[in-house]
Chains A and B, each alone.
Chain A
Amino acid sequence: MSERLPPNPRERINRARTINFSFDGKDVEAYDGDTIGSALHASGQKVLSRSFKYHRPRGLLCCAGQCPNCLVDVDGSPGVRACTEPVRAGIKVTHMNAKPSLDFDVMRATDLFGKPFTPPGFYYKTFIRPRRLWPLYEKVLRNAAGLGRLAKRQADREWRTEYRRRRADVLVVGGGVAGMAAALRAAELGADVVLMDDGPELGGAMLAGQDADSAKELAESIRAAGVEVLAPAAALGFFDGLVPAWQGNTLHQVRADRHIAATGSIEQPLIFDGNDLPGVMLCSGAERLASLYGVRPGETAVVATTTDRGLESALALQEAGIEVAGVVDARAGDGSEELLGALAAAGISVHRGTGVVKAFGRKHVRGVVVADLDDEGRPDPASKRGIDCDLVAVSGGTMPATSLLLQAGAKARWDEASGSYLPDGVPSDIRVAGAVAGHEPRNCAAKSGAVAGAEAALSLGLGSEEDRARLQADRASLLRETEGPAPAGQARTQDAGSRNGKCFACLCEDVTTKDIDYAIEEGFDSLELLKRYTTVTMGPCQGRMCQLASIRQMSEDTGASIEEVGLTTARPPWSTVPMGVLAGRPFEPAKRSAVHGRHRELGGNVMWAGDWRRAYDYGDVRAETMAVHEGAGLIDVSTLGKLVVSGPEAGAFLNLLYPNRFDNLKPGRIRYGVLGDDAGRITDDGTICRLDENSFYVTTTSSGADAVESWFSWWLAEWKLDVQLTDVSQGLSAFNLAGPRSREILSGLTELDCSNDSFAYLDGKRANVVGVPCLMLRIGFVGELGYELHCPGPLAEHLWDSLLEAGAAHEIRPFGLEPQRILRLQKMHILVGQDTDAESNPLEAAMPWIVKFEKEEDFIGRWALEAVAERGAENKLIGFTIENGTVPTEGAAVVVDGQPVGLVTSSRFSPKLERSIGMAWVPAALAEDGTTITVSDEGRQISAAVQTAPFYDPDQELLRG
């Protein structure tokens, strides 16, 4: 705490409460309210990081979260800005990008000796030969570069993040005086206002100055007015009216009817040899450190500036107790007489028309070399002289923070008078206030904010005529205050000093002015190309510290005006943000059957099946399969899609959708249906049961339910039939009770006559089973006598339990998806999407019997299927058997003379048939019983015999019995 200044009324710290944390394993004492950066600086730790490429020592620069100089790792999270991150007790802070230590970094050799090997784009030039070594080079380079490392264990990288959506009438981005004034005025007029700011406390630049108290009062006023304040919450971008902001573990997604950009301006660094040394700070950074945290940024300061901002800063630093050895002002004649008088009165010498040529020191500034500048800003070597100091406070003017506005569709216009890019062509739902609009002086910024707030609120229909009149008056007043010549000292903001030595244009990516010269000489003479080649503006500061500098240099080098050079495209994120925050809370919507809990209790291996969680098996596929053949099995098929189609024209509607007939289906009967598209291709299948004259119960595949519902709805809207459609998929549970003893089990649980005469194959009956109302479909997807029981989900557990209980005497077993797949394959029942693809039609997929060309009315795909019928099948879906038990991989090729001609779609070993069975697409010529086909599977050639009839119960005797 040796570097603390005497207490001041603006400071955020509580000197009565100390907090301890560690930095690189050493204990550090901080005050409550400190940031990690301020505490480390106060403890004497001036080097906080090493630079990206040259591993040069870096220390605090902006103290506002704008630059890359203080990135550290906090408790395993890399890339944290120490200058804004509050200290918390016990946190473990470590440096990044330095080995073996921050003090001694062997990679510093790249700075001392590596320059000839590391020009812009060096990884494309230096490390390309021999080419085979590139993977090695890449590994080494990636290891050497980078700004931090993630924890190795997944668990250590996980943290809870979530989205929060917020609608608002007005969103104000920026919590400085302009933003607060805007928010207050809009709220006063009745608007629902959200204000977001990236700092922990509203007030912006005011907080570190004499107006700190009024900033706090204004902040209290806006909260009292009902404004929701999000701080610290950095706005990340502008996405068609949606502005996301990161705050802690929350990503706010604010969508407002009106937006006010009060994003302020960013103080620019100066370019000279050694401008990255620890001890070189922005004037605003040095002031913030002294004022807000009571930390002495240095003992003796030299202030280098191109505007009056530096003159103000020199006075502020001296008032804080820092000796100011001199002000180096690049301007020869400009400058506020009032400020110059105050400096003279304070005994601070001002070197007019002078610039810093070099800052020297090994790990920290020990002094600067200054020189007189000629009319073009070049230093006169004969005038060089040194000034001892340990702090160089620099101010190269300001740059309006227009990035969010540009993302929103605004343009940027170079304003010669202020020497900055100002927003232009701003979209009508956005207002601009304060420094970003060029309204920099504080009284002017407050008025600018009030005008923007009133405009936003009034444009929403809020406020009164009186408020409109007041707005007119405020506008006129604002215009008067911003008219006329720019404030003295703002007109000339070009960089001072020379470009000898290492003058950094971009601190994030270690891009020097020489690198930019070099790139331009190589032909990268547009700003966008320069950016991509040198990576200038592409680092964590996103151009805040380097864009204007690179534009100016390109302008000087190419002779193009600054306006002609232009800006690079502004892209989100405007502020750095952890990827986890963007990802948000993981949502994995899963549908579960009403008896999902029972499957877990029964030891079901649950897996994804479409968007459902289903039991794949219960641990013994073979036993489950054989139970269905020998006794009874019970499977939960609640995942099936289920639609109620009703209305006087329901039958006609289904006739148009399916290639077979449904209007002649009798109530209480069931028919299989295959859905196709316009091209006759199979899209889904299922059973249709006619419930009564006007109503049908349609089932679909599990994964096709939503698509079929959409397909039906789409055609219903097109055909305008008197039909209603309701999706009841998730309301009805369905269990398939199958096996030779299933009738016996069922008969004991219902009063319905389940005899074959009364309840025949393809009958649909409605009756209560163990008191549960059911629709019972006598169908047989798995090839044995079976009943599909559809019942309300809330009663399903009772039905499931009762069936298993009653079936216990009949050796019933629950069976899962995998046994079902074996059983259905034995019957050659297709799985849409597995045995069919985007080219499959029913004529070729072994189902020509389902296409009723004799139907009078048209049906979807008729024309295409007629064309197939006319030309004849080219390929056919067939079954095959393999005697030696080999099970080919699904997807394996069917080959003729070594050339692929088809593929295997399904294959399993059948425990009942004791051989391998499968289905495959083959050329029509091979689709004859007994033909031998060859399957090529991962180098094996497997012979298989074609079979066109089902492998099991081909005459359907078991199903019908």
Chain B
Amino acid sequence: MSFEFLAPDAASAFSGAAPAARSPIEWAQRDAGAQFTERAGWRVVADYGELAKEATACRETVGVADRSHLGKVELQGDPGVVAAAVSQLARGAALQLGTATLVDEVWWCPITAGRVLAITPPEATGQLRAELEAAVSEGPFASVVELTAALGSNAVVGPQARETFARVCALDMRPDRFLEGAFAPVSVARTPGMILRERGDQFLHLFGSGYAQYNWTVFVDAAESLGGRAVGDETLRAGKREAAARA
């Protein structure tokens, strides 16, 4: 039931290569000196020309990275149908409100008992959507809606990440209260949003993509006041590799 006109990955070639998907704030990133790279059909900010400083920010203060290219697919239906579909695709995972579950690089984020947002690396968006559609194709109706374009997302990373959120959000994000995997729909900078604690000091903030430029400005400004800065995808990937190595 998913509709291709909602899916950036449904782009096709027309007198040349297929058009690349762009972040809703690419024009602002260009102004900030971003260097772009292509990833799974997306133009993604690799860095802002200062990789070392970006890494330092994530390690010592806070870095803010645009991750609008992450795939987001919503499954909605009867709670039993949703639970069964998620269980089938997430190796038996049972969802619990307030907590997201990471299976095979897909975050399963329950918004309500009958509504789940799946967040995936951009390479896997189409496959995940297809698998979800297949999982609910039989039995009671459930809708699978592609939301990659509808939701912008920023990663906020570093020891001052919580302090950055504290400037714009009233959520209790203390480490012992907002555990790894915690997921909460919440107002951020006076706009509707969702926050996922991916690991340690790394958080993912999701919001309506119309607010992408606003949220980017707000977060980078808050981060800079704490000594942080905007960072690119390369820095995040390096951090992920380091975390994996440590683990």
Which residues of A come within 8 Å of B, CB atoms? 160, 162-167, 192, 253, 255, 585, 587-594, 596-598, 600, 612, 644, 646-648, 691-692, 694-695, 722, 724, 726-732, 749, 766, 768-775, 790-795, 797-799
Contacts and interface: CB of A to CB of B under 8 A. Distances in A.
B143 A647 contact: yes
Contacts of A749: 14
A722 B148 CA distance: 25
B167 interface: yes
Interface in B65-94: 68-69, 74, 76-77
Contacts of A724: 76-77, 141-143
**Closest A-B pairs by Cβ, 9 of them:** A597-B27, A731-B150, A591-B210, A794-B21, A771-B14, A731-B149, A798-B19, A730-B210, A167-B172
A168 to B, nearest CB: 8
B22 A731 contact: no
Given A730-B208, A771-B12, A589 B27 contact: no
B19 A587 contact: no
B2 to A, nearest CB: 10
B39 to A, nearest CB: 12
A151 to B, nearest CB: 23
B37 to A, nearest CB: 16
B145 interface: yes
A164 B145 contact: no
A594 B24 contact: yes
B103 interface: no
Interface in B1-57: 1, 3-8, 10-15, 18-24, 26-28, 30, 42
Interface in B201-228: 208-214, 218, 222, 225
Contact of A794 (B12, B22, B189): B22
B143 A646 contact: yes
Interface in B142-201: 142-143, 145, 147-151, 163, 166-170, 172-174, 176-177, 189-191
Nearest to A252: B166
B5 A589 contact: no
Contacts of A728: 6, 145, 147, 149-150
Nearest to B14: A771
B149 A793 contact: yes
A703 to B, nearest CB: 13
A192 B209 CA distance: 36
Contacts of A588: 214
A602 to B, nearest CB: 12
A253 B167 contact: no
Nearest to B170: A165
A729 B147 CA distance: 10
Contacts of B189: 587, 589
Interface string B124-143: 00000000000000001111
Contact of A691 (B3, B74, B149, B174): B3
Given A165-B170, A724-B76, A792 B14 contact: no
6 contacts: A192-B176, A644-B6, A724-B143, A730-B211, A771-B18, A794-B42
Given A724-B143, A768-B14, 16 more contacts: A585-B167, A588-B214, A592-B210, A644-B3, A692-B1, A694-B141, A695-B1, A722-B141, A728-B150, A731-B147, A771-B13, A772-B19, A793-B150, A794-B21, A795-B8, A799-B19
Interface of B: 1, 3-8, 10-15, 18-24, 26-28, 30, 42, 68-69, 74, 76-77, 140-143, 145, 147-151, 163, 166-170, 172-174, 176-177, 189-191, 208-214, 218, 222, 225
B11 A165 contact: no
A722 B142 CA distance: 9
Given A612-B210, A647-B141, A726-B143, A794 B23 contact: yes
Contacts of B27: 596-598, 600
A596 B25 CA distance: 9
Given A160-B225, A731-B150, A732-B6, A793 B209 contact: yes
A646 B6 CA distance: 15
Contacts of B173: 167
Given A772-B11, A772-B19, A792 B5 contact: yes
Contacts of A692: 1
A792 B149 contact: yes
Contacts of A732: 5-6, 149-150
B83 to A, nearest CB: 16
A412 B168 CA distance: 37
Given A592-B210, A648-B141, A773 B5 contact: yes
Contacts of B77: 724
Given A167-B174, A589-B190, A692-B1, A726 B147 contact: yes
B97 to A, nearest CB: 18
With a 10 A CB-CB cut-off, give which of A164, A588, A726 has the most chain B CB atoms.
Answer: A726
Contacts of B6: 644, 728, 731-732, 773, 792
A695 to B, nearest CB: 6
A147 to B, nearest CB: 30
B165 to A, nearest CB: 8
A160 to B, nearest CB: 7
A600 B21 CA distance: 20
Contact of B166 (A166, A589, A795): A166
Nearest to A589: B191
A592 B1 contact: no
